[in-house]
Amino acid sequence: MPDVTPDATPHATPDERPDSGPSAELVHLSLDGAVATITLDSPHNRNALSRQLVAELADRLERSEADPDVRVVVVTSADRVFCSGADLSEASADGMSVGVQAIVGLQRYVVGMSKPVVAVVRGPVRAGGIGIVAACDIVLSAEEATFALTEVKLGLAPAVISLTVLPRLTSRAAAYACLSGAAFTGAEAVAMGLVTRAVPAADLDAAAAELCAELATGAPQGLRETKALLARDLLDRIDARADEMAELSARLFASDEAREAMTAFLTRPRTPRA
């Protein structure tokens, strides 16, 4: 499988390693005082949005929301890649009619949570993964991390993730990113509106700890009511357009053009890892 580099197609393919099966937990939850950290840890497909990963991520978010001691929720990755996008092996085999609904629900849940959700991005984010990032309230990224909305290269469109991504990006940035599929860095993503703050990779953990400590000083009621104010328009947008975007995404994934492109990607020679 090719590495997720700035010019790579965003979606993940299966790895042939014997420990890459789906039986192990793919999303971890840890608690440290008022901060819940949710860690994506599916290295065999670079944290692709498989059914298992999406279900586990939803469960960890729900557990964090229900915990009265938690005031801040962090979503991050165990490895360098934050998320490589849709799981193309599942999409190619089973279609995406169910998967897109799950991704819509995941985005809506993050936006509607009563606690601030912080994405801490260490490395590449592609396609559907950007929808998860955009749903978060605050995004802290390594300057060197790369983002790309490369659906257009596979005959697709960023349909369901447009529900959260387009309101974050400036209109000019959205047009360029979605139509070109080009990669942009964490530092560039700040000016585009997707990322709140970008720091050197070596400073990311310290910056995340400082940010979470600052957010955790908020009173639960203050955090809850302020989040509701901030999320109102975005929730309205998701509720008004979710079905339309889910139908569009499922239709495009099922199209002959997209299936041909996905098959070509899944069967192309893999680049050896260093």
Catalytic residue ranges: 151
d(CA 109, CA 106): 5
Q: CA 237, 239, 243 angle in degrees (round to 5)? A: 110
Q: Which two tokens mark 99?
A: 């998967």
Q: How far is CA 269 from CA 153, 265, 266, in A?
A: 18, 9, 9
Contact yes or no for 216/34 (Cβ under 8 A): yes
d(CA 142, CA 148): 15
Maximum CA extent, the chain: 53
d(CA 194, CA 72): 20
d(CA 211, CA 111): 19
Give the closest residue to 109 by CA, choosing from 88, 131, 87, 125.
131
Contacts of residue 50, defined as CB under 8 A and 6 or more positions apart, other chains included, come to 22, 26, 42, 87, 90
Q: Which two tokens mark 136?
A: 């978060």
Structure letter (DSSP) for residue 86: B
